[in-house]
Structure 1
Amino acid sequence: MKHELQQLAWALLLAVPWSIASGQEDDAAAQANNPLANMTAFNIQNYYVGRQTETGKNANQFWMRYAQPFSGGESNWLMRASLPVNSFPVDSHHETGIGDLNIFSAYLIDTGNPSVSFGIGPQITAPTASKKTVGSEKWSAGLVNVLFDASSPKFQYGYLLSWQSSFAGSGRREDADIVALQPFAMYQLGGGTYLRAAPIWTYNLENDGYSVPVGLGIGQVFKRQKTVYNLFIEPQFSAASRGPGQPDWQIYLGLNMQFLN
């Protein structure tokens, strides 16, 4: 359950040749990993945890994420909803079921540079788990801050910083007060292929538990009709951790889809 909370704080197909001009290709490849891109997106991502701290057992989180830009008056926002399917070790077996729903809305601030995206806004996590063993049984709320810099067609970087704290729910379950930082960096190799690193570092202010993974992966961006596909895999290993249920090593893979207007 602690693993579920920390991952909440904090995402197949054959490659199709690009059918757009080189300059457009570079821009699409650079924006394919932008969590604040001004377009509707749907992501399928999976964390396979090969071994957890203290228990030595494996676990899995399969994430479905939907992002939708919207306007409020003269302000621009991006909403992202994330729902996991969790498989966690419980005693001598694994429990699998739908986890807790997380939603955040980021207010998009005009940085004066169209290549630099910056957003900040509220988030909430609802106890929607189908089984108590795969969810927190807690309501949590907090803030999210995102930066993405695609000024260079070769190298893009940024971060997703979040904080959320329990405020209601089952009194039988441990409260959480979690800060999570996901730094990310992408280096374009050309032809839509890129190297990537996007670990999620978490710290629980409630019990001093933390996880600091590091990793290096590879991805491929390609376009078919009006959809940009981003397929990637990134092995990650723990540089430091404290507390049970933290990943010793894990494999992060996913397919992100951005739908062009």
Structure 2
Amino acid sequence: MIASLIPLNTIEAQEGSTPQSNQLTDEEKARANNPLANTKAFNIQYYYRPGLNEVEGGEAHTTWFRAAVPTGRVLWRLSVPLEVRHVNNATTNYSKSGLGDIDIFAAYLAVLKPKFTFGLGPAAAFNTASDDALGTGRNSLGAAAVAFASPVPEIQIGGLAIWRTDIGGDSSREEVEILALQPFFMWQLGKGLYFRSAPIMPFNLKNGDYHMPLGLGIGKVIKINNSIFNFFIEPQPSILLDGVGQPRFQVYGALNMQF
């Protein structure tokens, strides 16, 4: 589905027939996977979770629409999720879909070098879900830090850490305190093709719910004029988890665009 958004003849064009302006440099290949790239970006990211812990017949879909805009040394990132939840078993049959909890992150780019980027700043999530089943019902505020390094052209590594604590919301819903960790690794294979692993590991420090996925996927970066398109797919089985509704397995796919 994601790959179909990119013309096949563009992907398969031979190196000798590709215009020079569309050749990827090592810096552009690295920047395509840098969440702190100091450039305008728009991402469509999708999670499919076909099995949920302790929910017979449950599945979930989340589509994130993310926009990043730099203003000086501050990179603003707004994330808007569309959520779908299904449960179909002997006792329950329902389907909910709509808006989830919107979040925003403002990263001050303390280090901005070709081989190393580091940013940190405030992070917040808001009770915007259109249905109780699609969000936490709470607002939260905290901080996030991201590091990204490309020690050699073939390798990119780094990590993201986000912590947010409850600051109010629906009084009938449980309070939340979220810690999310995301290590990531990319190995460039040539011509924009790369292996990747970037699982997000969320922990609710209030009730102990968590899941720890292990990811291994493949991606492709292409350049069209001055825009970079990065699309990938990454299966992620959960190796450890606890809590109702945590995904036992998920598939993560995306189309990330930098302009």
Output the TM-score relative to the length of structure 2. 0.89
- Structure 1 SS opposite 2:26: helix
Partner of 2:101 in structure 1?
100
**C-alpha displacement at 1:151, in angstroms?**
2.8
Partner of 2:202 in structure 1?
202
1:156–1:186 contact (8 Å) kept in structure 2: yes
1:63–1:84 contact (8 Å) kept in structure 2: yes
How many angstroms apart in 1 are the aligned matches of 2:149 and 2:225? 26
Q: Cα–Cα, structure 1 residues 22 and 156, in superposed 2: closer, same or farther, change >3 Å?
A: farther
Q: Counterparts of 1:65-84 in structure 2 under 5 Å?
A: 65-71=66-72, 76-84=73-81
Q: Cα–Cα, structure 1 residues 92 and 28, in superposed 2: closer, same or farther, change >3 Å?
A: same
How many angstroms apart in 1 are the aligned matches of 2:105 and 2:215? 26
Q: Counterparts of 1:145-224 in structure 2 under 5 Å?
A: 145-224=145-224
Partner of 1:87 in structure 2?
84
**C-alpha displacement at 1:207, in angstroms?**
0.8
2:24–2:192 contact (8 Å) kept in structure 1: no
How many angstroms apart in 2 are the aligned matches of 1:34 and 1:150? 10
**1:103-137 CA distance string (max 9 Å, x none):** 010111136x4320000000111112222321222
Deviates more, 1:115-124 or 1:88-97: 88-97
RMSD: 1.6
Equivalent AA in structure 2 for residue 211 of structure 1: H
How many angstroms apart in 1 are the aligned matches of 2:219 and 2:23? 19
How many residues of Structure 1 are paired with residues of Structure 2 in the alignment?
243
**C-alpha displacement at 1:14, in angstroms?**
2.6
Higher RCO by CA contacts (8 Å cutoff, separation 6 or greater): 1
Partner of 1:14 in structure 2?
7
**C-alpha displacement at 1:19, in angstroms?**
3.7
Partner of 1:45 in structure 2?
45
**C-alpha displacement at 1:24, in angstroms?**
4.7
- Structure 2 SS opposite 1:207: coil
How many angstroms apart in 2 are the aligned matches of 1:185 and 1:21? 27
Which one has a bigger Cα radius of gyration? 2
Q: Cα–Cα, structure 1 residues 108 and 155, in superposed 2: closer, same or farther, change >3 Å?
A: same
**1:154-206 CA distance string (max 9 Å, x none):** 00010110001111111111111110001000000000000000001111110
Equivalent AA in structure 1 for residue 209 of structure 2: G
Partner of 1:5 in structure 2?
none
How many angstroms apart in 2 are the aligned matches of 1:223 and 1:36? 19
**C-alpha displacement at 1:92, in angstroms?**
1.3
Partner of 1:8 in structure 2?
none
**1:232-258 CA distance string (max 9 Å, x none):** 000010100001111111110000000
State the identity %.
42
How many angstroms apart in 2 are the aligned matches of 1:128 and 1:63? 14
How many angstroms apart in 1 are the aligned matches of 2:167 and 2:35? 27
2:111–2:119 contact (8 Å) kept in structure 1: no
**C-alpha displacement at 1:225, in angstroms?**
1.3
Deviates more, 1:149-158 or 1:33-42: 149-158
**C-alpha displacement at 1:28, in angstroms?**
1.0
